[in-house]
Structure 1
Amino acid sequence: MTFTDLEVWKESRILVKMVYDCVQFFPKEEMYGLQSQIKRSVISIPSNIAEGCGRSHIKDTMQFLYIARGSAAFELETQLYLSLDELY
């Protein structure tokens, strides 16, 4: 089994697509600000899952999964709240 078989990795790819679809409607002045930061955050989720699965020690794998969770549950969520505050 590889990381591409993991449901969490598959779902995170769907999340990337959803976020990219949403941020395309941000004002042009946010292209290199909040929009860019949101894209980096969401991309880091499946990337860290994949990288963690490539590690040979479970402790290393878990560290990357914690990073992915932090990107999803805290960093991205905060940025989405900030964009709501800023844009609406």
Structure 2
Amino acid sequence: MTSTVTAAAVSKNFGAYQDAAVRDPVIITKNGRPRTVLIAYEDYLRLTKRDRRVELTAALSDDELAEIEASSMDQGRDHFNSELLTGKHAAD
């Protein structure tokens, strides 16, 4: 179960909260508001693997944009087109 503690409590007993964070995240508050979370290193690695980078199309060169416009999807992926046409998205 996630626990919530003050920054002062963590500084007084860091080792105990560090051990607790290996089992479940520890939310650390400052001035009564959540500010940071102490998590296990394995959880951090798992989360960073899911991190996605977003690039603005304005940052692409004209050549890169032309390549994208000229590209086509493999025939085995045609079923994705029907999802676009029906408005069905992976987040739904």
Q: State the TM bucket, normalised to the shorter chain.
A: under 0.3
Taking structure 2 as the reference length, what is the TM-score of the superposition?
Answer: 0.23
Pair member with larger Rg? 2
More helix, by proportion? 1
More strand, by proportion? 2
